[in-house]
Amino acid sequence: MRRRLIVGVTGASGAVLALETLRQLAEAEVETHLVVSAGARMTIAHELGPGGLGRLTALADHAHSPRNLAAPIASGSFRTEGMVVVPCSMRSLAAMAHGLGDNLLTRAADVVLKERRRLVVAPREAPLHEGHLEAMLRLARLGAVIAPPVPPFYARAATIEDMVREIAARLVNWAGVDPGARMTRWGENPVGRP
């Protein structure tokens, strides 16, 4: 069986990170199940242009409607290694922290947590109020990896594309897939030249 991961995309800024994460998972031959929230349709169109959703969907092996609560990934009996939520809005973060399976994305995340699989969440908002921080703490205590998409400046990326690749590579890495040379590792590959 191919390795299988769920990728959730929500309406936080950073659609390009979702695109790059899906690209890296496709290159690693991981089977991906994509769920794009209703909120994400707006941010994707704004940040990636009108063809953005199509580009994301084309990179995934399967794309599910957030309204389809009968999709395979809504059940723990469907085997996956986990899920990456990138970028993650404060709305979806709060829903996941409180076990609200109100759409397929949050339901799939809840399944990943209850099955003790890997949930990597890349929340994007600034500044953060106490409610955001409480939701992150709660989700971390449930076992999620809270991985805000902060730039690893030590990688000395020359372009925004390089930095996006480095950030996405870290999410892929935390999801249990080796991103190879896309991720600069301190003391391993030469800094600035992945």
Ligand X SMILES: Cc1cc2nc3c(=O)[nH]c(=O)nc-3n(C[C@H](O)[C@H](O)[C@H](O)COP(=O)(O)O)c2cc1C
Which of residues 30 and 40 has its CB atom nearest to ligand X in the complex?
Answer: 40
Choose between 28 and 48: whose C-beta lies nearer to ligand X: 48
Residue in 5, 34, 35, 40 binding ligand X, rule: CB under 6 A? 40
68 lies in the site for ligand X, by CB under 6 A: no
Kindly tell me which residue out of 24, 32, 37, 173 binds ligand X, with binding defined by CB under 6 A. Answer: 37
The number of residues making up the chain comes to 194
Strands 145-146 vs 4-9: parallel, antiparallel or unpaired:
unpaired
- Residues within window 108-127 making contact with ligand X, judged by CB under 6 A: 124-125
- Does residue 42 belong to the site contacting ligand X (CB under 6 A)? yes
Q: Which of 184, 140, 148, 147 is nearest to 165 (CA)?
A: 184
Considering only the stretches 9-17, 23-31, 112-120, 180-188, report the one whose residues sit in contact with ligand X under the rule CB under 6 A: 9-17
Q: For residue 90, how many other CB atoms are within 10 A of its CB? A: 19
Binding flag, residue 56, ligand X (CB under 6 A): no
Q: Please, are residues 21 and 182 in contact by the beta-carbon 8 Å criterion?
A: no
Q: Check binding of 52 to ligand X (CB under 6 A).
A: no
- 8 touches ligand X by CB under 6 A: no
Residues 76-95 that bind ligand X (CB under 6 A): 89-92
Name the one range near ligand X by CB under 6 A: 19-27, 41-49, 73-81, 165-173: 41-49
Q: Give the one residue of 5, 7, 10, 147 binding ligand X; rule: CB under 6 A.
A: 10
Residues in contact with ligand X by the rule CB under 6 A: 10-13, 37-40, 42-43, 46, 89-92, 124-125
